[in-house]
Chain A
């Protein structure tokens, strides 16, 4: 029997947490919810035409990457950062979350932030990171190394090493 697509619910259960970590790592906890929701809604729309043998995690991260770029651009256009939607519940966990690490991530240039996220948070090999972000494998490796070096300086003390 040929492979068939799993119910989308299983995709959400299996990959939801990783995609949320990606969104938080790239955008910070406040904007992560929006990016996560947009990612899964776009994925749900396209899902019936997905080839059943696709690497679903990589596919979702690719969508999340595009949404993160959109959000980063939208954020740059926003006037001032007093614009968190008021009805959004306080992210119960974001406060418990390692805020310092995410703050340190936010301080990285976008290129480094995504390279660090895809390689270190998702576990993607640099060749795949390069496919996703454009540029060479070496460039991806350098961006991640530079990002990690900065994180060690800005976040390192007191943090897990």
Chain B
């Protein structure tokens, strides 16, 4: 429809060059209003925010169904948002309010005041056996660990030890869905989506390491 932009003509800025940049307050006011109206119109498919935690900044994203993604910094938050746009919906806005309860519960968890999460979760990003593994992880209680092999048995496929590892490594909801409680049969800690240090920190917090 539109042709490509020809070089901008020099006269362009002559009269309008003095216009100030749009200020912060205006930007925030308009953005808040857009979030409000998008929510009301049912157009806010994915809301996100970031929070600080002892294991680094965490990206939280939620659909209308519930928490759909928790991401460590090492996963690259920008890329995570781009993949959410591709896999779920590009109607994504920075809208902290939808994640207030989750943020509060995660804070309480890291303060040692909370041993489980009550927020609704949306497993849309995990399918098939991986989803089955993730739903099973909720049965490993706070402070406990289970081996990859044990989880494979519990998820109904004893031979799928490696697939359990993959399910944990690609867990879209780390911390909240406790893949950090799955360790190697030999007692070593095993890998983790947020890095081994983060896994150790969580297990130490829970008194399991």
Identify the A interface with B (CB < 8 A). Answer: 4-9, 12, 16-17, 20-21, 33, 36-37, 40-41, 44-45, 47-48, 55, 58, 89, 91-93, 96-98, 101, 119-121, 123-125, 127-128, 131, 148, 151-152, 155, 159-161
Q: Provided the pairs A4-B85, A37-B30, A101-B15 are in contact, do residues A93 and B20 lie with their beta carbons within 8 angstroms?
A: yes
- Which chain A residue lies CB-closest to B26? A93
Q: Of B3, B21, B23, B41, which contacts A128 at CB under 8 A?
A: B3
B93 near A12 (CB under 8 angstroms)? yes
At the interface, yes or no: B86 with Cβ under 8 Å from chain A? yes
Cβ distance B68 to chain A, nearest Cβ, rounded Å:
13
What sequence of 0s and 1s flags, for each residue 32-54 of chain B, a beta carbon within 8 Å of any chain A beta carbon? 01100110010100101000000
B6 near A7 (CB under 8 angstroms)? no
In the complex, what residues of B have CB within 8 A of residue A96's CB? 20
In the complex, what residues of A have CB within 8 A of residue B89's CB? 48
B23 near A41 (CB under 8 angstroms)? no
A7 near B90 (CB under 8 angstroms)? yes
What sequence of 0s and 1s flags, for each residue 9-34 of chain B, a beta carbon within 8 Å of any chain A beta carbon? 00111111111111101110111011
Interface of A is mostly: helix
Name the interface size band of chain B. 35 or more
A20 near B3 (CB under 8 angstroms)? no
Identify the B interface with A (CB < 8 A). Answer: 1-3, 5-6, 8, 11-23, 25-27, 29-31, 33-34, 37-38, 41, 43, 46, 48, 81-82, 84-86, 89-94
A20 near B26 (CB under 8 angstroms)? yes
In the complex, what residues of A have CB within 8 A of residue B94's CB? 9
- Which chain B residue lies CB-closest to A34? B33
B3 near A7 (CB under 8 angstroms)? no
**Interface CB pairs A-B, < 8 A, 30:** A5-B86, A6-B85, A7-B46, A7-B84, A7-B90, A8-B91, A9-B81, A12-B93, A16-B27, A20-B30, A33-B29, A36-B30, A37-B30, A41-B38, A44-B43, A44-B91, A44-B93, A48-B91, A96-B20, A97-B20, A101-B15, A124-B5, A125-B5, A125-B6, A128-B3, A131-B2, A148-B15, A151-B15, A155-B15, A160-B15
B43 near A45 (CB under 8 angstroms)? yes
Cβ distance A10 to chain B, nearest Cβ, rounded Å:
8
Cα of A92 to Cα of B30 in the assembled complex, Å:
12
B30 near A16 (CB under 8 angstroms)? yes
- Which chain B residue lies CB-closest to A45? B43
- Which chain A residue lies CB-closest to B31? A12
Cα of A23 to Cα of B37 in the assembled complex, Å:
19
B21 near A161 (CB under 8 angstroms)? no
A55 near B85 (CB under 8 angstroms)? no
Cα of A82 to Cα of B13 in the assembled complex, Å:
34
- Which chain A residue lies CB-closest to B8? A123
B3 near A92 (CB under 8 angstroms)? no
In the complex, what residues of B have CB within 8 A of residue A98's CB? 18-19
B18 near A123 (CB under 8 angstroms)? no
Cα of A61 to Cα of B81 in the assembled complex, Å:
25
A160 near B18 (CB under 8 angstroms)? yes
Cα of A40 to Cα of B15 in the assembled complex, Å:
27
